[in-house]
Every structure is written in structure tokens, then in C-alpha cells.
Chains A and B, each alone.
Chain A
Amino acid sequence: MTGETDSTVVGEIRIRAEDKWVILDAGALWAHRDLLLLLVRRDWITRYSQTVLGPIWFLIQPLLTTLVFVLIFAKVAKISTGEKPPMLFYLCGMIPWNYFAQTFSSSSSVLTANVALFGKVYFPRLVVPLAGVVSNALMMLIQFCLFVVVWLVYYFLEGAVSVPPLGGLFLLPLAVLQVAALALGAGLLMAAITARYRDLSHLSAFLVNLWFYVTPVIFPISSVPSHLKWALMLNPLTFALEAFRYSLLGVGVVDLPMIVTTTCATALILFLGMVAFQRVQGSFVDTV
């Protein structure tokens, strides 16, 4: 029996009250990598099951939102997007923003949304929010492809864009990682807080809305009056937005101090999120 051989591999598991300070059990997470992939798969299959258009919705959603943005912010409110066409400008900003917003909301509701499951079986709870990070990343990839298609249209038909400096592309993976870490950290923090104080879950959606307006998604940093710029600089998401614009459109402000401060802030939020989540998950099911 394979079970026999396994039992010699598995060491002792000690279950005690004071385990709250273990922040990350990487070994246990690795052992559950299959589960993570299956959860990602479940996410994908169930998200648009029984819809006629199916995964095409992954394209329609950002496209529609962008069109609305073009209509409201560019045509009606006349917010300048610099020298780039608004359509491309928004699409580019939507890639990291959607990734952030979706990952944040899926992570922040992870405890309350999985009460039934968590109450019946144990596996490292972190697997579920991590699966969200991965499945949302796949969705981001689709949006990225959409962006590329629209970019090609502008490039060949209108000549409105030029090829950005290729050196900027190295920023992309960094920005994606940063958004993922930030969304996960902030989401876990929110999950831990709402597990304790359910009232604050109402605040979570509002927080995302608010965050949207202090993030340069629909406007370039350059259009912000200089006495308000500090608010954008405090926001660790600003870096990701600018990095995306810089590497994909050749506009945007990214400098070394920004990278350093953003990395530090993100690491801090991720750390706090993990600690808070770890402290709550152990006896979370008792308070439901």
C-alpha cells in the first residue's frame, strides 16, 4: 500500500493552541499544489458555466468598461489621457487594476465564502486565496491579449502609437508580482478583520471604489496638480499602473525611489496580511 510508505515519510504533527505565530508553512502549501490547480480550474469552469458566450465574457467585460470610460471620462468629462488614445490608455490601466480589484475582493471574502468547506476539512487555508491569485492572473492574461489586439489595430490602421522602448518590458513581471502581492496582502488583512467584525465587510467594496480614484487608471499622473501628487505617491498601486503604461505605451513615470518604496510598502502589507490571516484562520470556524 502506498499509505504505508507515506506514513514513514510524514513526521509528527503537533496540534496545540499556540500555533498562531507560524506565518507561512511553505511545505504544506507545496504539498497542496494539486489542490491549488484544481481550485483554479474550478474557478474557471464555474465562472461562466451555462452562459452562452462562455469565456468570451472575459473579453466583453473589460471592453465594455473601457468603452464606458471613453464615453464618460474622455468625451464627457474631458479628462486628458496625454498623447495616447483614450481607448488604449484605459485598456492598459485596466489590466493591472482589474487584477488588483478582483484578487483583493476574492481574497477578502475567502473566509466568509468558504465557511462550509473550512468547517469540514483541513488543508492550508492559504491555498484558496492563492488559487484566486492564479486564476485572476489567467484572466489578466486574456485582457492582455485583448490589449495587444487593440494596440495592433491602432498601430497599423491609425498609426497613433509607436513601439515602446523594449527595455521597459522587464518592468512588467515585476509590476504583476507587485499587484498580486499587494492584492493578496490587503485582501487577507481584510479577510481577517471581517472575520472578526462582520460589519466591515460592507466597507470592503467601498474601499475598492475609493482606491480606484486614487489610482491613475483613468488619468495620467502628469495631469494631477502637483499639490495632490503625494496622494498618488502614497498608493503602492501607482507604481504598477505607471509601469504598465511605461512598458506598453511608452508613457508614465517610473523611477528607482518609487520602485523601492513600493516594494517595501507591498512587502509590509503582505506580511501584515499573512500574520493577521494566520491568527484568525485557526479558530475562525468557531465564530461563525
Chain B
Amino acid sequence: MRPIIEVTCLGKRYRLGAFGAGSFREEFAGFFRRLRNRGNEESLPGSEPMAREKRDLWALRGVSFEVRRGEIVGIVGLNGAGKSTLLKLLSRITQPTEGEIVLRGRLASLLEVGTGFHPELSGRENVYLSGAILGMTRKEVEQKFDQIVEFSEIGRFVDTPVKRYSSGMYVRLAFSVAAHLEADIMIIDEVLAVGDYAFQAKCIERLHALTRVGKTILLVSHNLYTMQTLCSRGILLRAGQVQVDGSMQRVIAEFRKGSLGTRKTKRDLHGSVLVENVAVNDECEARIEIVKEVELVVRCDFVVKRKEVLHFGFSIKSVDGVYVSGLSTFVENRPRMYEVGRHRLTLRLQNVNLCSGSYKLAFAVMNGNGIAVHFSDDEFGELAVVRPFEFDGCVGIRHSWDRNPVGAVANHQME
């Protein structure tokens, strides 16, 4: 059986710089130049290609892969790696600059929740409209209408204009329409992150159900856990190219290895405190690698020029934006008066048990009111944790599993 999606040498170029003033003239000039150079487009006059190349940005280039019917492929990559562009090309929102995509089946793309919803229309009308916009026929929507409403849990509000809905209801109804699409290929971008926890679980369950009936799904999400449980296969994009195409496990491992460039920037908002140095574990490097649960020691040398109360803050964020932890003497209400002179602050973090991945460290000095007088940009330090995949999320919690049988029933079952 031929693959349901075939992508060959796909490329998408964006022109940087808007079509602003002067572009009229430029375009006319370009048009006449093209007329003169008809047939030998490659040999455009000297300066032209250079200027062009500078403005051009290839969001994707030379991307090729195939997807077989029934596969669930997760697309992973940092922001700007070309994930969204790939989804847009696959769902025909924009045209490729080069290459080809062959789709052998009906495709539905869910790049946002509530596509085509209109606030003035009732829930019922929106289900029909949004369904049609996403590619369902009226008959299909009619058949599934009750299911959709039931799934969304909006009940008797179905005939109320959606502008009166709570944001939760709105999102649930919108997702329900999407979840009942009848397409062979579904392209899903981040839309899983909707609703409360129970509804999210329901959505994921629905995706599982879709895959059981043989739908082909392409999924982009920042939630690596979801990706790992749902997707059999992953594609890692980096700088517009396919870096890894293989099992989701391998893709995630490779993705987590990826490091960010580090940048040391400090900002003084106030002249009263001069931060000379902030170091983690006394390393000079901004980037620290750890392989297991560790103790982190943050040391800050600073000079106080005016006697005042100071507070300190420290935070850890994962590269995909999860705020792992923020600690500060202000929140803990432990003010301290600092005399003029040189000081050293030491912060000890015990049992830092982070999952594999890259984390950004930030440091701040605050005045007595908790207003930052000095803060490092996110990238004052970077923590790269490389370790076996022992748990998911950001932080490992000390734990134990108690799995002893209760009473004799369990014993009986064992036999």
C-alpha cells in the first residue's frame, strides 16, 4: 500500500522585510528585469542575488518523509525549527516554494481551537459552521451533532450565543467539533492543551480512539509526555531540516540533548548594588552538566554602595518554558539589612532532581519592597541534565511504590 503522505524535498522560503514603501517601484523594476532576462533566470544582474539571499529565510528546506496509513507521527523541534511551517504546508494554508506533498486521503487540520467560531452565533450554529470550515459536510455534522454536544459537556447552553460562554465551555465545544472530524489524516497543533485536566484526559483518550480506527495523525505539542505516549514515530526538526526520523524515544532523547547557546547578560536597574559575579557550583562556565541528583551551590559576590535591605531570588526554567522553581528571600519573608561593602551570598539547593533536558537559571537582587534592582537575563546560566529517562516532567519526587497484596483475595488471583 502506498504511503498516505509523501513529502519530497519540501522547501518554504519567506521574504524578510515587509512589502513596505518603495516596494511598488521595486516590483516594477523587478518585473521589467525579469522580462529582459527571460529564459536565463539564474543569471540575474550582479547585486540582485546577494540582496535577495539576505532577505530570504528558508523556514524549511529539503524535507522528505513518508507517513503510512495509521501512523501517529509527532513532530518535535524548538520554536522556529519549522514545525508550524510544515503543518501549514501540509494543510494547504500556504504554498511550498519547492518540492511536493502528495496526500492520499481527506485531510483535516486543527491548528487552533475554535477555527471559524463566531461569537454572535449559538453553539449549535457554530458547530455546523466550524464543522463545515474544517471540512465536514452538513450531513456528517448532523449525524454527529449529539455526540459532539455530549462530548463538550455544554448541555442546555447549546442554543446560547457562544460569546456568553465561559472560556472553558467555548474551548470544550470547539475541541469537540474538531474531535469528531471524519478525515483520514489529522494534523494537530498544540490544541491538546485545552480545558481542565479531566477534559484534556478525555481529548487524549479520543485521540487514542481515532488511532485505533486507523486514522493517520500528525501531532505537534510541547508536551513531550503526551507525544511519547501517543506517537509511535517522531520527526525532529532543526533549522528547517529533518534531523532525526525514527522512534519517538530516540527523537525525544535527541531533542533533550540539544543545547541552547549561552549568553551572559546582566542588567543593573539601580546603582546601589553592584553584582560582580554569580557562579553555580563555582564553575566559570555558564553551562553546567549534571548526570544525577545533585546539590547546587549558587554564589553571588556583590558590592553594596548604600546601606539597605536586600532580597535575593533564584529561578529555574526549562527551555520549553516550564517554570520549575522560584526561590526568594522576599517570598520567604527573610529580609536582611546590608551594610556598605563587599558581600557574598551562598544559596544551597539540595537534591536537585531534574529530568533530562536543558534549564535556564536566573538570578535577581531585590530591594526591601521586592522590586528587582538587578537581574540576570534568563540565560545567566544553563543547566544541562543528561541522565537516563527515569521519570517524566521536570522534577523527580522522592517516592516509593507499595504494591503488597491486600488480604487473601490477591493471593488467590496470583495462583
Segment touching A, from B121-129, B257-265, B316-324: B121-129
B-side interface mostly: loop
A282 neighbours in B (Cβ, 8 Å): 94-95
B183 within 8 A of A: yes
Tell me which of A38, A45, A121, A197 contacts B91 (CB under 8 A): A121
A78 neighbours in B (Cβ, 8 Å): none
Tell me which of B18, B92, B106 contacts A6 (CB under 8 A): B106
A-side interface mostly: helix
Segment touching B, from A61-69, A112-120, A179-187, A211-219: A112-120
CB-based nearest A residue for B18: A287
CB-based nearest B residue for A288: B18
Report yes or no: B101 in contact with A117, Cβ–Cβ below 8 A: no
With known contacts A3-B184, A15-B95, A121-B116, A38–B100 Cβ distance under 8 A: no
Within 8 A of B (CB), among A2-58: 2-4, 6-7, 10-17, 19-20, 31-32, 34-35, 38-39, 41-42, 45-46, 49-50
Report yes or no: A121 in contact with B109, Cβ–Cβ below 8 A: yes
A7 neighbours in B (Cβ, 8 Å): 104-106, 184
B250 neighbours in A (Cβ, 8 Å): none
Within 8 A of B (CB), among A251-266: none
Q: Number of B residues whose C-beta is below 8 Å from A?
A: 51
B92 neighbours in A (Cβ, 8 Å): 13, 15, 122
B182 within 8 A of A: yes
Report yes or no: B115 in contact with A120, Cβ–Cβ below 8 A: yes
Contact with A along B67-108 (1 / 0, CB 8 A): 000000000000000000000111111111111111111110
B137 neighbours in A (Cβ, 8 Å): 31, 34
A77 within 8 A of B: no
CB-based nearest B residue for A199: B24
Tell me which of A1, A32, A50, A286 contacts B182 (CB under 8 A): A1
B19 neighbours in A (Cβ, 8 Å): 196-198, 287
A1 neighbours in B (Cβ, 8 Å): 182, 213
User: Within the complex, what minimum Cβ distance (angstroms) separates B16 from chain A?
Assistant: 11
Report yes or no: A42 in contact with B93, Cβ–Cβ below 8 A: no
A155 neighbours in B (Cβ, 8 Å): none
Report yes or no: A13 in contact with B107, Cβ–Cβ below 8 A: yes
A283 within 8 A of B: yes
With known contacts A7-B105, A121-B134, A2–B94 Cβ distance under 8 A: no
Report the tally of A-B residue pairs with Cβ distances under 8 A: 126
CB-based nearest B residue for A118: B93
A272 within 8 A of B: no
B135 within 8 A of A: yes
A34 neighbours in B (Cβ, 8 Å): 132, 137-138
User: Within the complex, what minimum Cβ distance (angstroms) separates B202 from chain A?
Assistant: 20
Report yes or no: B102 in contact with A17, Cβ–Cβ below 8 A: no
User: Within the complex, what minimum Cβ distance (angstroms) separates B26 from chain A?
Assistant: 11
Tell me, in angstroms, the Cα distance from A119 to B95 when the chains sit together: 12
Report yes or no: A285 in contact with B94, Cβ–Cβ below 8 A: yes
A14 neighbours in B (Cβ, 8 Å): 100-103
| Range, interface on chain A | 35 or more
Tell me which of B95, B111, B112, B214 contacts A19 (CB under 8 A): B95
A15, A50, A198: most-surrounded residue (chain B CB, <10 A): A15
A197 neighbours in B (Cβ, 8 Å): 19, 23-24
Tell me, in angstroms, the Cα distance from A4 to B184 when the chains sit together: 8
User: Within the complex, what minimum Cβ distance (angstroms) separates B10 from chain A?
Assistant: 9
Contact with A along B122-158 (1 / 0, CB 8 A): 0001001100111101101000000000000000000
Tell me which of A15, A41, A49 contacts B89 (CB under 8 A): A15
Report yes or no: A3 in contact with B182, Cβ–Cβ below 8 A: yes
A17 neighbours in B (Cβ, 8 Å): 95-99
B256 neighbours in A (Cβ, 8 Å): none
With known contacts A2-B182, A45-B125, A123-B133, A283–B95 Cβ distance under 8 A: yes
B128 neighbours in A (Cβ, 8 Å): 38
Report yes or no: A121 in contact with B132, Cβ–Cβ below 8 A: no
B299 within 8 A of A: no
Tell me, in angstroms, the Cα distance from A168 to B162 when the chains sit together: 48
A-B contact list, 10 entries, CB within 8 Å:
A1-B213, A3-B182, A3-B183, A7-B106, A12-B102, A13-B92, A45-B121, A117-B116, A120-B112, A287-B19
Which 3 pairs show the lowest CB-CB distances between chains A and B?
A122-B92, A35-B132, A282-B95
